Amino acid sequence: GAVVSQHPSRVICKSGTSVKIECRSLDFQATTMFWYRQFPKKSLMLMATSNEGSKATYEQGVEKDKFLINHASLTLSTLTVTSAHPEDSSFYICSARVGWGGNTIYFGEGSWLTVV
Amino acid sequence: DAKTTQPPSMDCAEGRAANLPCNHSTISGNEYVYWYRQIHSQGPQYIIHGLKNNETNEMASLIITEDRKSSTLILPHATLRDTAVYYCIVRVADNFNKFYFGSGTKLNVKP
């Protein structure tokens, strides 16, 4: 299957700082990428849909000023957690849809964020 | 939101077939059923998907009922490495084709 890579896989940051997580599609172009977060022993929660060259679409209840998403190219989307707090600590996972109107999405390995 | 219902957990003996059920009674005619699995602390892995016909690949088989209100994922010969949370997802049929995850089924494969 298609390969989606996230970086960093683990990050620890201080409360009040911002942290950026990158999501790259390595062997295909992804016009649409999705960002999820997952708490321990819980399911994945869709945060936002990221479209190349346009503003992200956020799910209800997700603060767009808190979670900044940029999809500047067909192979890269970034999630920036601004002014992070301990409650933002979570597993963040991106996924990418293959090509235009592709049916299947592939997931990255996930990024663990710990805010201390 | 998720349109699927799955049992929270299932056990399966190693080497036997694992049959994981999923209910999606409100599925629309143009919505696909997808299956992914997630091994602890990793991103979900794609398994298989289908619209109305049964599907098979090297990993699994997908059986969709004629009325499309339920489906079953079959792992023909489960191994210990198949222990994971299995998610059945109905892909939203809009421009974005979003995936909303339900709570999934934790499959425990036992020796």
Question: What are A24-46's pLDDT values in tens digits?
Answer: 999 888 888 999 999 998 999 99
**Residues of chain B contacting residue A45, judged by C-beta atoms under 8 Å apart:** 101
Residue A103: which of B2, B32, B103 has the nearest Cβ? B32
Residue predicted with more confidence, B92 or B32: B32
- Is B28 a residue whose pLDDT tops 90? no
Residue A43: which of B34, B96, B104 has the nearest Cβ? B104
**Which residue is listed with tokens 């062997």?**
A27
Q: Are A21 and A6 in contact (CB under 8 A)?
A: yes
- Is B96 a residue whose pLDDT tops 90? no
Q: A60: which residues sit within 8 A by CB, 6+ positions away?
A: none
In whole angstroms, how far apart are CA A99 and each of A20, A32, A51, A56, B17?
25, 8, 12, 18, 34
Angle at B65 between CA A34 and CA B5, to 5 degrees: 50
Instruction: Provide the pLDDT for residue A1.
Output: 65
Q: Are B69 and B23 in contact (CB under 8 A)?
A: yes
Task: Kindly indicate the confidence band of residue B55, based on its pLDDT and cuts at 50, 70 and 90.
Answer: very high
Choose among A91, A1, A76, A64: nearest CA to A33: A76
- Is A101 a residue whose pLDDT tops 60? no
Asked if A104 is an interface residue toward chain B (Cβ–Cβ < 8 A), one would say yes
Average pLDDT, integer, range A47-61: 90
Asked if A54 is an interface residue toward chain B (Cβ–Cβ < 8 A), one would say no
Cα A84 from chain centroid? Answer: 15
Strands B9-13, B105-110: pairing is parallel
What is the per-residue pLDDT across B65-77, written as a single tens digit (0 to 9) for each? 999 999 999 999 9
CA distance B104 to chain A (A): 7
Identify residue A41 by its one-letter amino acid code.
K
Instruction: Provide the pLDDT for residue A100.
Output: 55
The rounded distance, in Å, linking the Cα atoms of A89 and A13 is 10
Q: Are A74 and A4 in contact (CB under 8 A)?
A: no
Instruction: Provide the pLDDT for residue A99.
Output: 61
**Residues of chain A contacting residue B46, judged by C-beta atoms under 8 Å apart:** 1, 104-107
